[in-house]
Amino acid sequence: MLRIAQLLAGISLVKGALGVNLIASHFSGGIYSLSLTTSGQSGTISVIQQTSGCGTTPGWLELYSDVRKVYCFDESWSGRGQHAEFNIGNDGRLSLASSLSVSGNSVHGTLYGGSDGRGFVATAEYSPSTITTYKLPLQGSRVAQTEKFTLARRGPHQRQDVPHPHEVHLDPTGKFILVPDLGADLIRVFRIDANSGRLTSCANHATAAGDGPRHIKFWKSADGTKEKAYTLNELGNSVSAWDVSYTNNCISLSRTHTISTYAPGKKGGANTKAAEIRTQGNFLYASNRADQTFGNQQDSIAIYTIDPTTGAIAWMEAANSYSYYPRTFAFNKDGTLVAIGGQTSSNVAIVARDPATGKLGRLVANVQVGQKGRAGEEDGLSAVVWVE
């Protein structure tokens, strides 16, 4: 059956040749434009441009394809950093539009608020334990708001010494920002004032002790009656499902169940770390770093089914990521391909996907981007996005 699914995924690529661009960032400072061409069941991917402008340690890319812009956030640990806005040319090449000097250590960023939902930018700073906002445009902007988090006592994991906000995620309504805090085992919620960009704290929601939530994604049933949120727990190597409701002008989350990022009866090793989470239709995906499930430096992507009525998740299978330390991955627009960014292997692997079954199949194309990293270190490839 898997072989049939793989063939179907190949058929769905396109008849004839298709060219599409991707963008990747590297912890050494490079921002790369990539060109993918597929024909039938095979493809080639190559680097067409390397540029800079996002500081020394670009860590996250946020794409706005409708205006052909990508924002880059610097994870620099030196006490200074750079956020950047790039224009994307028709050929996929990047040109720096604006930039802003900041304090660094931003592991994530997103636009929010304003008349078009893009009037401000929010960032999460991992070790300073802060989230920070700025009014756009970036050039010449100043800090509009800083929220500093504290911890009453250390968590059960050695990395939970202080709060570590890891993402600023905009909810589907665009009215709230959610902040998974790896150090505090919390999902922090903030209400947005669209006009001023001001964030006001709502109630926090606790994960299980030692989960270390890293990222969050939303899902809604086809009839719109059920909404869920799913958190990727880096330290717990697990995914949690939450019921979502909007009450008292805030978001309320209620955790319903948690499932490992490994098959029942299996565990990650001492150095494994779950990294990224995505939903695609009624399927959920999570990447595992350093598990080497598929051989030497071949880590896995965990796949779950999402019940179309209840939103409950169930383990389906593990798939080959064709990379080592898959920190980042993203699906193309029609869900027939996934680009997987290996952090330590510093490669972008294009893998076929069958939209009907949710299964990931063969390797379609692969390219090394920049210098390879060192296992467990903050180097190598950091993010990848499709330009469609």
Q: Which amino acid belongs to residue 98?
A: S
Q: How far apart are CA 115 and CA 202, in angstroms?
A: 23
DSSP-assigned letters across all residues of 335-378: SSEEEEEETTTTEEEEEEE-TTT--EEEEEEEEE-SS---TTSS
Neighbours of 154 (CB within 10 A): 12
| Domains identified in the chain and CATH numbers | 2-387 (2.130.10.10)
| pLDDT at 10 (0 to 100) | 39
Whether the Cβ atoms of residue 145 and residue 132 lie closer than 8 Å to each other = yes
| pLDDT at 40 (0 to 100) | 82
**H helices of the chain, where?**
2-11
β-partners of residue 96 are 86
Task: Please report, in tens digits, the pLDDT of each residue of the chain (388 residues total).
Answer: 444 344 334 334 433 455 899 999 999 999 999 999 998 889 999 999 999 999 999 999 999 999 999 999 999 999 999 999 999 999 999 999 999 999 999 999 999 999 999 999 999 999 999 999 999 999 999 999 999 999 999 999 999 999 999 999 999 999 999 999 999 999 999 999 999 999 999 999 999 999 999 999 999 999 999 999 999 999 999 999 999 999 989 999 999 999 999 999 999 888 999 999 999 999 999 999 999 999 999 999 999 999 999 999 999 999 999 999 999 999 999 999 999 999 999 999 999 999 999 999 999 999 999 999 999 898 999 999 999 9
DSSP-assigned letters across all residues of 253-273: EEEEEEEESS-TT----TT-E
Exposed / middle / buried, residue 254 (Cβ in 10 Å: 0-12, 13-18, 19+): exposed
| pLDDT at 13 (0 to 100) | 41
| pLDDT at 17 (0 to 100) | 55
DSSP code at position 165? B
| pLDDT at 388 (0 to 100) | 94
| pLDDT at 18 (0 to 100) | 59
> Phi/psi class of residue 295: alpha, beta or left (left: φ > 0; alpha: ψ in -120 to 50)?
left
Neighbours of 314 (CB within 10 A): 11
Name the one residue in this structure whose structure tokens are 């620099």: 76
3-state SS assignment for residue 7: helix
| pLDDT at 5 (0 to 100) | 40
Tell me which residue of 21, 44, 43, 25 sits closest to 34, measured CA to CA.
Answer: 21
Whether the Cβ atoms of residue 373 and residue 346 lie closer than 8 Å to each other = yes
Whether the Cβ atoms of residue 119 and residue 136 lie closer than 8 Å to each other = yes
Report long-range pairs for 50-54 (Cβ below 8 Å, ≥24 apart).
50/370, 51/86, 51/94, 51/96, 53/82, 53/84, 53/86, 53/96, 53/99, 54/25, 54/29, 54/82, 54/83, 54/84, 54/99
pTM: 0.94
